[in-house]
Amino acid sequence: MGIPQIAWTEREQTNYIVLHGANTAPSKKYGADHLRGLHMRQGLLDIGYHYVIRMDGIIDLGRPSFSVGNHTETHNEDSIGVAFIGGIDKDYNPEDNFSSLQIRVCKGLVATLIQMHPEAEIVSHNELEGGDNEFMNSVASNFRESPLGEFD
């Protein structure tokens, strides 16, 4: 599918790096293109996230990292969105089915993003806007408590 050619609105500041569960079944075939299609069918111009981490640890690019996202209700203008593929089972029930590889890869990505945006706080989508994904809350909390050097 590829990235649509859009005149992106640039983000003026980055106060948050927001971690999301994508609420997809844990299929290795899902990535940014899958979510891009879903989001565009919902009326968005493109995928709402900036980065998508597949089950196999591959990081897909979503929206350009400099642009305003569309992944939260209240903080799109000052945040970067990172989504993990997974989060529901085949019957669409919440499930902690994220891989340890996704977590390790995300640590590296977050370390890089924090170096680029040292003022940013690492949060889960739930911490900003409510929700019950305890796994994402735990990941965000663990990342906040880890010294940057321990992210390698």
pLDDT in tens, 42-89: 999 899 999 999 999 999 999 999 999 999 999 999 999 999 999 888
C-alpha–C-alpha distance, residues 129 and 73, integer Å: 8
3-class SS of residue 18: strand
**Residue ranges covered by each domain of the chain:** 16-151
Cβ pair 57, 106 in contact under 8 A: no
Fold classification of 16-151 is: Lysozyme-like (3.40.80)
Q: Considering the entire predicted model, what is its pTM?
A: 0.90
